[in-house]
Structure 1
Amino acid sequence: MSYATLMVYVNVDHASRALVSVSADLADRFSAKLIGLSSLAVVPPVVAEGVVVVDHASELELAQMRKSLAETGEKFRAAAGVVRDTEWRSALEIPTDALIRESRCADLIVIQKSGPPIDFYRAADPGTAIMGTGRPFLVVPGGLKTLAAEHILIGWKDTREARRAVWDALPFLRQAKRVIVIEICEGDQKEAAHHQVNDVVLYLARHKVRAEGRVETRLMGPGAAQIMGFAEDEGADLLVTGAYGHSRLNEWIFGGMTQDLLISTTICCLMSH
């Protein structure tokens, strides 16, 4: 198993050369095709007291949006550099919807970490996209220019999402120099946690990944802060974890750790739902 196609979502307002550079390096490492994607949507009419305040976009506005997307495509190509197999795609629709739709052609999607608020007509929402695509996402902190992925931390939880994340991360795990599987649990669950972590370590060994297991007792405060602190102490540069949430009236409500990691992670996170 490897990644044959990577897709990177490029924000039209903040086209990150560093993000594309990370994606291009990974595409080169895995001998993969790299697809760049960006999207803009027309803001729908606003009605106040029965009067339309903002009407549909004019042809001039649509032309400007297409021009902005084309310019973003040129920035993508320039930043991708020597990657041989690249493609640019753009759309005039809700960015998150475009990303979910186009994800059918990618094995891994790279996106920049973004905190609230998000302009849903000009930027893709990483959380909603992760939940809707059925593909793993690599969430990259702003400013990061390279990802060695030499020391990987797997945040384990005995769930479908975590199992999916471990499988999706195998191309990275096989190339890593060190892999740690960690479960953070309540004090009375340590025996079960050790058994689960050991199973994951043995599973990875059968896939030619040498890993070590750790179990830590949950501390007071956010779980994301504890696991990020552990990652920093161990020098990890990639965190692999499941993404947890549920839909309520078409809005994704995320678990605390998933939400915190999407907003505050200081290292790359590979997330699967």
Structure 2
Amino acid sequence: MSYATVMVHVGIDEASDARVRLASGLGERFHATLVGVTGWGPRPPFAAEGLVVDFGPSDAEREAMTEELGRLGAHFREIVGPGNRPVEWRATLDFPLEVVAHAARAADLIVIGGGPQPDDVFRSLDPGSVILRAGRPVVLVPDSIDSLVPSKILIAWKDTREARRALVDALPFLHEADKVMVAEVCPEGGEAAARQDLDDVTRHLARHRIAVAAAITVHGSGTATDEIIRIAREERVDLIVAGGYGHSRLGEWMFGGVTRGLLGHSPACCLLSH
């Protein structure tokens, strides 16, 4: 099992070039086709005094936007450089979320940024929405990272559908790792059930010829995200694998949640699946 196609969002944010280099490196590692994708949303129509007013781009503006996307594509290919693997470019005059969500059907793995997004709402990409809509594993890349060598991987386990999906989606990375750790954050008194969960996960991975170096059950005074990030920093992990939005996104926004915490504070790349 491997990733045959790695797709990367190419944006106007400052971290875009580093993200492309990281995705290019993954393409080389997995001998995968690399696809760069971007979008530029037109101004939507709005209602005024009972009338629908459409200030969409004129023909001249549309041509200028298309040319700018073409220049972005040329820059993408320049960063990737010459190579033997296939490289594709996809650019559409539509909101980046819509473009990436539709293009996801052609990808095995999607690489997006995890840092602050541009103020331009017509060209920015909301990471949480991509996770919910892509139907593919999403690698979230912090701004400071431009390569991903998955030597140490932390699986942030919780017995949910999304976590199970992420575990399977991450198998190509897990086979590449030198050290795989599994951690479940449980409340005090829940250690026995958590240990049983982790034993099952460990045996499951062993059947895939993946040895788990450490299975950790923790419960502290901080949040689950705090504990996961603490372990990731202490172990200097390269990749965190987790389910994406096991609760509703509204629930995470109101009450907090691991996905929301990782989106904003993870020190390492995260593979998230919904």
TM-score by length of 2: 0.91
Tell me whether 52-61 or 230-239 shows the greater mean CA deviation. Answer: 52-61
1:187 partner SS:
coil
2:190 partner SS:
helix
Change in CA separation of 1:118 and 1:129 when aligned onto 2, cut-off 3 Å: farther
Aligned to 2:95: 94
Aligned to 1:160: 161
Is residue 221 from structure 1 mapped to residue 253 from structure 2 by the alignment?
Answer: no
Change in CA separation of 1:115 and 1:259 when aligned onto 2, cut-off 3 Å: farther
Contact conserved, 2:243 with 2:273, CA < 8 A, in 1?
A: yes
Q: 1: distance between equivalents of 2:69 and 2:118?
A: 22
Question: How far apart are 1:81 and its partner, in Å?
Answer: 1.6
Gaps of 5+ in 1: none
Within-5 A mapping of 1:33-44: 33-44=33-44
Q: 2: distance between equivalents of 1:128 and 1:235?
A: 28
Question: How far apart are 1:253 and its partner, in Å?
Answer: 5.8
Question: How far apart are 1:258 and its partner, in Å?
Answer: 0.5
Letter in 1 for 2:32: A
Aligned to 1:203: 204
Kindly provide the CA deviation profile for residues 140-176 of structure 1, in whole angstroms up to 9, marking residues without a partner as x: 1113121111000000001111111010000010010
Aligned to 2:125: 124
Kindly provide the CA deviation profile for residues 90-144 of structure 1, in whole angstroms up to 9, marking residues without a partner as x: 0011210111100001000001113468644212211111111110000011131
Question: How far apart are 1:14 and its partner, in Å?
Answer: 4.2
Contact conserved, 2:195 with 2:217, CA < 8 A, in 1?
A: no
Aligned to 2:18: 18
Question: How far apart are 1:54 and its partner, in Å?
Answer: 7.2
Aligned to 2:187: 186
Tell me whether 63-72 or 164-173 shows the greater mean CA deviation. Answer: 63-72
Q: 1: distance between equivalents of 2:56 and 2:107?
A: 33
Contact conserved, 1:7 with 1:34, CA < 8 A, in 2?
A: yes
Contact conserved, 1:201 with 1:212, CA < 8 A, in 2?
A: no
Contact conserved, 1:193 with 1:215, CA < 8 A, in 2?
A: no
Contact conserved, 1:118 with 1:125, CA < 8 A, in 2?
A: no
Letter in 2 for 1:77: R
Aligned to 1:151: 152
Contact conserved, 2:179 with 2:212, CA < 8 A, in 1?
A: yes
Contact conserved, 2:40 with 2:122, CA < 8 A, in 1?
A: yes
Letter in 2 for 1:148: V
Q: 1: distance between equivalents of 2:13 and 2:71?
A: 11
Contact conserved, 1:40 with 1:121, CA < 8 A, in 2?
A: yes
Q: 2: distance between equivalents of 1:163 and 1:91?
A: 33
Within-5 A mapping of 1:38-117: 38-47=38-47, 55-83=55-83, 84-115=85-116
Change in CA separation of 1:252 and 1:225 when aligned onto 2, cut-off 3 Å: closer
Kindly provide the CA deviation profile for residues 188-241 of structure 1, in whole angstroms up to 9, marking residues without a partner as x: 110010111011111111101111343333323332122111111011111000
Aligned to 1:9: 9
Question: How far apart are 1:85 and its partner, in Å?
Answer: 1.1
Change in CA separation of 1:30 and 1:160 when aligned onto 2, cut-off 3 Å: same
Change in CA separation of 1:224 and 1:82 when aligned onto 2, cut-off 3 Å: farther
Letter in 1 for 2:58: S
Kindly provide the CA deviation profile for residues 15-37 of structure 1, in whole angstroms up to 9, marking residues without a partner as x: 72211111011100100000000
Tell me whether 210-219 or 165-174 shows the greater mean CA deviation. Answer: 210-219
Is residue 246 from structure 1 mapped to residue 248 from structure 2 by the alignment?
Answer: yes
Question: How far apart are 1:53 and its partner, in Å?
Answer: 7.9
Question: How far apart are 1:271 and its partner, in Å?
Answer: 0.4
Q: 2: distance between equivalents of 1:242 and 1:201?
A: 17
Q: 2: distance between equivalents of 1:247 and 1:257?
A: 11
